[in-house]
Structure 1
Amino acid sequence: MLILPGLITAFVVAVISKVVAIWLPTLGAATIAILLGILLGNTFLKNPVLEKGTKIAEGKLLEFSVVLLGATVTFQTIAQIGLKGGLFILLQMSLTIIATYILGKKMLFSDNMSLLMAGGNAVCGSSAIASIAPSIHAKEEEKGQIITLVNLLGTILMLLLPLIGSVIYGSDILTKSALIGGTLQSVGQVVASASMINGQVVELAMLFKIMRIMLLVVVVYLFGRFKQQRTPSLETVGSPSKKKSSALPWYVVGFLLFCIVNSLIHLPKEFSEIAHFFSGWFEITALAAIGLRLDFQKFFKEGKRFLIYGLSVGFIQVLLAIVLISLLSI
């Protein structure tokens, strides 16, 4: 029962956002939900009793939304990304990891914090950090600080990338999708940011994002090996290959299965419409919960050095994405 207050609150914010979006269609319900959630979560609705419910809404509902999104996607949709899109993701992730780690060490952050920051930004935010932390023996405090920093950076980029994409790429859907899906930290931020443009960008941006999440297993393994080489005393039994946390997230598997089924037998239109309906509501409610849980006080507690590190990494990510999109002619 403790989850009900938070779940109901997130749903109410989602409903209000849907209504407000009728008068502000350009902004969209997803964007309104997360912004309204941030406003209320840091003022009138800043209450610990909501925490469990909003955490469930943020995590599980968004995961279900991603799975149902697979029922609206086919191999033909994925083909729009092509080999260049796959190469873009590999280069973007690799260069982000290298640059973030080097910058972290230059700014005198520990190996663990630099690796967590690199993985969180390159792959999938908090989920990647939670998966990487055991493989490099990171402390809970280190994990918490980096999660806070990555969430702050993701929120800033979530609002800026649609503007940057529109200025640079105009009406080009694929390039804007690559910029958002190849850069933003969490699934929720990708959905919210892409929703500021249109539904097609949400679909394609999520495909770029799914590619990154699928490489989580590889990143966890390589980070664990890297840390063991730098700190030989680490126990080999803690190898990431034996860690449950390094497994591919269930919602990515669900998304891919739905996509395969839809491509092979072409699911009935009614099923796709129902999946799209529930996926949309799960998404809006989850984004409202993300906003409600975003505590600005935590960000300011971390200090100036953390903020400089986060903003610098964000700038590097966006710059890398723009350069790679240009070089690969996506």
Structure 2
Amino acid sequence: MAEADGQVKAKGGALALVPGILVSMAVGILAWVVGRIETQLFGHAWIEPLVLAILLGALIRLVWTPDGRFLSGINFCAKPVLEVAVALLGATVSAQALAAAGLPLLAGVVVFVVVAMIGGYLIGKAMGLPARMAILMAAGNAICGNSAIAAVAPVIRAEAKDVAAAIAFTAVMGVIVVLLLPALGVALSMSEQSFGVLAGLTVYAVPQVLAAAAPMGPVAVQVGAMIKLVRVLMLGPMCLVLGLLAPRLDGAPGEGAARRPPLRHLVPWFVVAFLVLLAARSVGWIGEDLAAPVSMVVKILTVLAMAALGLGVDPRGLVQAGPRVAAVSVLTIGLLIGVALVPALLLVRS
């Protein structure tokens, strides 16, 4: 009898998720449709479906506040679904390309990401942002924009409003950088290779790297894509480190040592899964024929999660956070470009 009651309760719990999941799916589908329309009109999506989903969700929240029937499903999409997407992301990234790139490139990008993370975090704290918000902004700028923010958010247990604000402002800065970076390359008379280094180190998403580097030539595109790949590969190790540091954000200094959480809480399951799948992809156990559909699943799940995050955010809170977050975005991208110009300008005459 007890087992039957448990099955009924589990079934009821699963059914309770359906309304919120359906609403999140509707917003996600709308974001995909708008993205496709952008592609048809302009050749590519200026605002990615991931960003559109969270913006559309927040706009809907302006005129409609989900009640209890929807909250459990929305929360399910915003957290467990996002965690699964982060885990599966490991199957889409291969470390094999690093062998061709060489150790100097790997070491240089690792140093760059660490400097950008620390510098971005310090800028955020100096501007008065909460610790988790400062980490989200730093991760988005240092690694891979919206994808990094989405991946880091569950690791550090960031609030939905902080995730929404970080993604919104990072998306805007990403488009601005893509449009203005080629002009900087021309003004500095940069070679294709040097500009590829600059684009790979500063532009957020892989498609944006290609868009920014294309005006400078095919070599710039190839170099930029390679460096961007190395930055993306830093996502797993960075999530692991942040997972270890996250408990310290929950109390005063030294408090975490007296109340040390279990290992499973220090290293979230989806970070471990990400690293395992990345290793499997790198040694060839996961081939390209499987990685491609998994990549599509990751995109779908991430858009669904971002739609749910948008639905769970009060846009008025975004407006209040706007000026400080915008300032942090501008200052951090300035830091990225300044640091990236050092290795890039060394290659101007190459």
TMscore range, shorter length: 0.5 to 0.7
Residue 171 of structure 2 corresponds to residue 155 of structure 1? yes
Change (3 A) 1:178 1:82: farther
Can you list the C-alpha shifts for 1:272-319, whole angstroms capped at 9, x where unaligned? 345414523542563475367446533212253443234322332343
> Secondary structure, in 3 states, of the residue corresponding to 1:302?
helix
Where in structure 1 are there 5+ consecutive unaligned residues?
Answer: 134-139, 185-189
Residue 268 of structure 2 corresponds to residue 244 of structure 1? no
Q: Relative to structure 2, which stretch is displaced further, 309-318 or 169-178?
A: 169-178
Which of 306, 314, 325 pairs up with 2:333?
Answer: 314
Retained in 2: the 8 A contact 1:177–1:204?
A: yes
Change (3 A) 1:255 1:14: farther
The 2-side partners of 1:224 and 1:273 are apart by 39
Map of 2:56 onto structure 1: 40
Where in structure 2 are there 5+ consecutive unaligned residues?
Answer: 1-17, 215-220
The 2-side partners of 1:245 and 1:81 are apart by 32
Paired letter, 1:78: L
Change (3 A) 1:208 1:105: closer
Retained in 2: the 8 A contact 1:59–1:286?
A: yes
Residue 149 of structure 2 corresponds to residue 125 of structure 1? yes
Paired letter, 2:335: I
The 1-side partners of 2:130 and 2:31 are apart by 40
Change (3 A) 1:129 1:45: closer
Residue 315 of structure 2 corresponds to residue 299 of structure 1? no
Change (3 A) 1:323 1:41: farther
Change (3 A) 1:297 1:96: same
Change (3 A) 1:43 1:279: same
Deviation at residue 22 of structure 1 after TM alignment: 6.2
Residue 102 of structure 2 corresponds to residue 82 of structure 1? yes
Can you list the C-alpha shifts for 1:156-194, whole angstroms capped at 9, x where unaligned? 2332343345443797695334433xxx4xxxxx36645
Map of 2:276 onto structure 1: 253
TM-score, normalisation: structure 2:
0.62
Deviation at residue 57 of structure 1 after TM alignment: 9.2
Which of 207, 228, 231 pairs up with 1:208?
Answer: 231
Map of 1:137 onto structure 2: none
Paired letter, 1:89: V
Counterparts of residues 283-294 of structure 1 (less than 5 Å):
283=299, 286-287=302-303, 290=306, 293-294=309-310
Retained in 2: the 8 A contact 1:37–1:290?
A: yes
Paired letter, 1:258: R
Counterparts of residues 270-281 of structure 1 (less than 5 Å):
272-273=288-289, 275-280=291-296
Which of 49, 55, 77 pairs up with 2:78?
Answer: 55
Paired letter, 1:23: Q
Which of 87, 99, 115 pairs up with 2:119?
Answer: 99
> Secondary structure, in 3 states, of the residue corresponding to 1:215?
helix
Retained in 2: the 8 A contact 1:61–1:283?
A: no
> Secondary structure, in 3 states, of the residue corresponding to 2:236?
helix
Number of residue pairs matched by the alignment: 301
